[in-house]
Amino acid sequence: MHLDQFPKTSLGFFPTPLVELHRLSQALGGPKIFMKRDDLTGLALGGNKTRKLEYILADALKQGCDTIITAGAAQSNHCRQTAAAAAKLNLECHLLLGGEAPQQAQGNLLLDQLFACHIHWTGTNRKGQDIPRIYAQLQTEGKSPYVVPYGGSNELGAVAFIEAVAELQQQNKEAEFSHVIFASSSGGTHAGLILGKKIYKQTFELIGINIDKEANSGLPFEQQITQLVNSTATLIGLDYAFSLDKLVLNSDYIGDGYGVVGQAEKEAIALTAKYEGILLDPVYTARAMSGLIHHIRSGKLTKDDKVLFWHTGGAPALFAYADDLDFLP
């Protein structure tokens, strides 16, 4: 199994830092907490999608495509990084964003516009349901389009996070982490971490915090992740069958749904900023961090544990959620 069989283009700054959150751990009275700073990947204010796009857009270039299509919510971190990567690689970019055009662009949407991409507003269809129509339209215009899946979550996106586990292993050569906690939303990061754990013989418990009530396809999200693990294993030539019963996807922190900021997310943002000077985003990492905090307070994580929080990025969305962050003085 050699990941270098897959083409890759350089889009970010790696390895991303691995840091210990001394003050947050002390404030929570919990275990040692570390953070993998994929919010510092360097592309368009960073985020975990940069890893995936290095492989996915290399495949687009290999196929001779000149136009990129992807989809997401209006404040999609994935779309923002895809637009930036397309700009860097001189590829035309079309974003299909859920909702309606706001009067004023903020957060990720403002950055999308700076990267000179084409934005198509798709109402309730925020997960790419309208991509076939745009794809066909671009073909009639003589373009050679390439579809980047929702969240960059296909086999190539998962390969990027197999590589990320190897990166983590090189950075952490002391006692292994007992738990790795992260936001799980479109499945690619989760699938890659599962395979990375297997390949590099890691023993940590991998806990995905579910972010969204809605699945990305017709399948339940748990089945979607499981299928992606196995199809990626097949792609890389790994003799491994992952079963649904081994998946840890915690859906206890979804609250009122995707993108709805509750008290738990507000507290996670406030505590991480106050004690570590690190920004979480309101949709993904704040929800995942709220799960970590609850695990500590409920005794599921103890002082004997060594926990890694994988920061997947997204801070630009904070500015678009200013009205919801009413904990500020």
How do the domains of the chain map onto residue ranges? 3-47+153-324, 49-151
pLDDT at 217: 65
The string of DSSP letters for 104-121 reads S--HHHHHHHHTT-EEEE
Look at residue 241 and give its three-state secondary structure: coil
pLDDT at 96: 96
Same fold, 3-47+153-324 and 49-151: yes
Q: Per CATH, the architecture of 49-151 is what? A: 3-Layer(aba) Sandwich (3.40)
pLDDT at 328: 57
Which residue reads 């136009």 in tokens? 67
User: What are the catalytic residues?
Assistant: 76
CA atoms of 80 and 242, how far apart (whole Å): 32
pLDDT at 216: 66
Q: Which residues pair with 182 in a beta bridge?
A: 208, 310
Give Cβ neighbours of residue 121 (< 8 Å, ≥ 6 apart). 97, 98, 99, 100, 101
Q: Hey, CA dihedral for 115, 49, 39, 263, is it positive or negative?
A: positive
Model-wide pTM > 0.85: yes
Look at residue 310 and give its three-state secondary structure: strand
The CATH class given to the 3-47+153-324 domain equals alpha beta
CA atoms of 11 and 189, how far apart (whole Å): 17
pLDDT tens track of the chain, all 329 residues? 678 899 999 999 999 999 999 999 999 998 999 999 999 999 999 999 999 999 999 999 999 999 999 999 999 999 999 999 999 999 999 999 998 999 999 999 999 999 999 999 998 777 778 899 999 999 999 999 999 999 999 999 999 999 999 999 999 988 799 999 999 999 999 999 999 999 999 999 999 999 987 766 678 999 999 999 999 999 999 999 999 999 999 999 999 899 899 999 999 999 999 999 999 999 999 999 999 999 999 999 999 999 999 999 999 999 999 988 876 55
- The answer to whether residues 95 and 117 touch, using CB atoms and an 8 Å cutoff, is yes
Taking CA atoms, 267 is separated from 72, 144, 183, 261, 322, in Å, by 26, 46, 16, 10, 15
CA atoms of 61 and 218, how far apart (whole Å): 30
Neighbours of 244 (CB within 10 A): 13
In the chain, what are the helix, strand and coil shares in percent, each to the nearest 5?
A: 45, 15, 40
pLDDT at 213: 72
CA atoms of 262 and 43, how far apart (whole Å): 29
| 56 burial via Cβ count (<10 Å: 0-12, 13-18, 19+) | buried
Give Cβ neighbours of residue 290 (< 8 Å, ≥ 6 apart). 253, 264, 265, 267, 268
Give Cβ neighbours of residue 14 (< 8 Å, ≥ 6 apart). 41, 51, 167
